[in-house]
Structure 1
């Protein structure tokens, strides 16, 4: 069989596939299965044509629940001067003010989505910088992109505003209304400010009044004294906020006193928060000091969270912008690097769900599935086991959408050159 193609048939049977057993409710390890595809879906029974897949590993389409499509691919004109978090903040701010027109945002978003599609992602949540007047530029573009990409990638968006800019009786209220009118998610970046508890209460009130889910960036720092995740959990419990709450990064937990970390995790579990870790971006940014080798990986305490029943996911985060100079919205890459950085190997056998079912559940996307009736949206690699999967980038993977092999040709970076001149 030519691995990059599959025959066409009314009922195509793919035999001898390898799948993580947890994805089909069969416990730990890897197992071999067959899948029959008809009318774009997985179905029961035999096929008209059967292909021996020779142990190729298969996954349903991936969910990438924390991205920044509006920032993506600005690196050629807005490189981080020193790789630091502050360098990223100031560089993005200057680029946004100078360049983020509707056309600029649209073209870079579309480029990024074509990359994600080619890699096998079926659902994405993006954060959108929403400090006025950018909210009135980026949100209409997002709505257009969501409509254009419907049926290929399901899209959600969350606003992104710093806690000190999230006034509850000014521009942020207008932003919240834009988010609500766009079917979005209310988002905020939390860090220590004197009135943070009051601001959190106001934030949840705005969300509750508009029936919105919420999504935070929190504690993206190596400072152990920064602990806004705990305040978010306490506020959820205090207010009884009952819509889904997602919190990303939570890096400082890993450098806090063990007892303090455990108290926070207990509150997070009690409040039912969803946590998303962004291993590649935080490995890039955290603990960066000129002339000094980093002493930690920037990763939050994912094993301890999972042990408490907290819904933990991983995602891409930034791509080719000042917060992360690399990346391509490739969830197989995220899974490979998260496994290495976070020692997910030799641990619980169902970590693969942190790239599939867990983020879909956190965001309310359709659950990825390999069971009869599910869409035949599949990612098939030549790898036959975990070692083979994580040893190569699987650039020759097959991606099926509605049972048909798609053209995985990635867009050429040169397409965007005129944006940087």
Structure 2
């Protein structure tokens, strides 16, 4: 395959990209196609590595209204609703909804997914379903599974055993939710226990951490300290970290130093965080989002996820990462021209670093030929006009293609 006349990684210069044997073989202007080679004329549009979904829950997607709607819009009601819906899970139910969600994600240019999966169900129904599905779709999309103890790892006597069982069954990442443990001390102990477990079993770590508007919720510093002391920082992620939006600046400055020193990652989920956050405020009302702009300026890796699509946490969503970026740049004031042009990195290179796949990611000679062609000359226009992903290409083969809609106006002027 030869892709001609594209702006690779949103760069100003036009170039061509050639693919052989599933890898990028040449990147240079004016390449000549081999006899019979498939040619895609990029027509001056932007070519990026595929989008990375850093944080989603494939086991819960597409359950909005089941068994009831989250009318309060709070995180806590959402968790209660899921506790009811979880009782009805079957492998077929989970796989059917997860597969429908993956189709949406691939349509919008995603090839790499990190999915949390609830292991509070002693049957581990959702985990077993997603482990099967991960294998079935591996040629089209890469999935990392996070063992996620939705109810807390110390709140239930069975939970530690379920976590170890999930690890042995094949999860890639160890999750946690320290702010939902019974006490502050339990939250800290859960962090220590889970990071020790990650070391023992050689797993990545991704914890829901301080997803609450409480300035006293400070599990993130405990996780960062463990990541630093154990030397596993680049393998550790804190998701949400929304309490950071309530921290005072003096403490936040100290925390940033620790986060930077640890080398760990942060995942923001702008759509869901804004929707769920600030629900207990009157006015002024907090935005419910972590400090994306400040973290980025401090050199800390931040990536974005959609988190929830049409479920008890978010009744909307269709898997389009442009929606996630749009919310993130608006809410955290990342609206300078160059900030907007660079915002694709939150769902590409930063996401690859979060998933710890950066060595095999990106448009460079010798790397796997995974890329997307957007219907715009640069990312600013792609984001502003919500342009389509024209081609989603994996290992040199097109796995999704979109033909843009055409509008004809009859206005008389």
**TM-score, scaled relative to structure 1:** 0.84
Q: Does 1:358 align with 2:350?
A: yes
Paired residues of 2:234 and 2:264 also in contact (CA < 8 A): no
Q: Does 1:92 align with 2:92?
A: no
- Equivalent-residue separation in structure 1 for 2:94 and 2:2 (angstroms): 40
Q: Does 1:158 align with 2:150?
A: no
Which residue of 60, 66, 72 maps to 2:49? 60
Q: Which runs of 5+ in 1 are unaligned?
A: 1-10, 22-28, 410-421
Tell me by how many angstroms 1:64 deviates.
Answer: 0.9
SS in 1 for 2:13: strand
After superposition, the C-alpha distances for 1:152-183 in whole angstroms (9 at most, x for unaligned) are 11111111115744369743133223223314
**Structure 1 residues 101 and 257, CA gap change in structure 2 (3 angstroms):** same
Which residue of 326, 329, 333 maps to 1:339? 329
Which residue of 30, 41, 46 maps to 2:32? 46
Partner residue in 1 for 2:103: 114
Partner residue in 2 for 1:36: 18
Tell me by how many angstroms 1:76 deviates.
Answer: 3.6
Tell me by how many angstroms 1:383 deviates.
Answer: 1.3
**Structure 1 residues 240 and 404, CA gap change in structure 2 (3 angstroms):** closer
SS in 2 for 1:406: strand
Tell me by how many angstroms 1:263 deviates.
Answer: 1.1
Tell me by how many angstroms 1:272 deviates.
Answer: 1.7
After superposition, the C-alpha distances for 1:301-355 in whole angstroms (9 at most, x for unaligned) are 1222122221211111111111111122222332333233333342556443221
Paired residues of 2:119 and 2:150 also in contact (CA < 8 A): no
Partner residue in 2 for 1:220: 211
Tell me by how many angstroms 1:234 deviates.
Answer: 2.5
SS in 2 for 1:31: coil
Partner residue in 2 for 1:133: 122
**Structure 1 residues 350 and 203, CA gap change in structure 2 (3 angstroms):** same
Partner residue in 2 for 1:371: 364
**Structure 1 residues 41 and 209, CA gap change in structure 2 (3 angstroms):** closer
- Equivalent-residue separation in structure 2 for 1:169 and 1:74 (angstroms): 28
In the alignment of these two chains, the number of paired residues is 389
Tell me by how many angstroms 1:393 deviates.
Answer: 2.5
Tell me by how many angstroms 1:293 deviates.
Answer: 7.3
Paired residues of 1:381 and 1:397 also in contact (CA < 8 A): yes
SS in 1 for 2:288: coil
The answer to which of 172-181 and 298-307 deviates more is: 172-181
**Structure 1 residues 388 and 307, CA gap change in structure 2 (3 angstroms):** closer
SS in 1 for 2:47: strand
**TM-score, scaled relative to structure 2:** 0.85
- Equivalent-residue separation in structure 2 for 1:104 and 1:163 (angstroms): 21
CA RMSD, 1 decimal: 2.7
Paired residues of 1:13 and 1:46 also in contact (CA < 8 A): no
**Structure 1 residues 70 and 408, CA gap change in structure 2 (3 angstroms):** farther
- Equivalent-residue separation in structure 1 for 2:18 and 2:152 (angstroms): 53
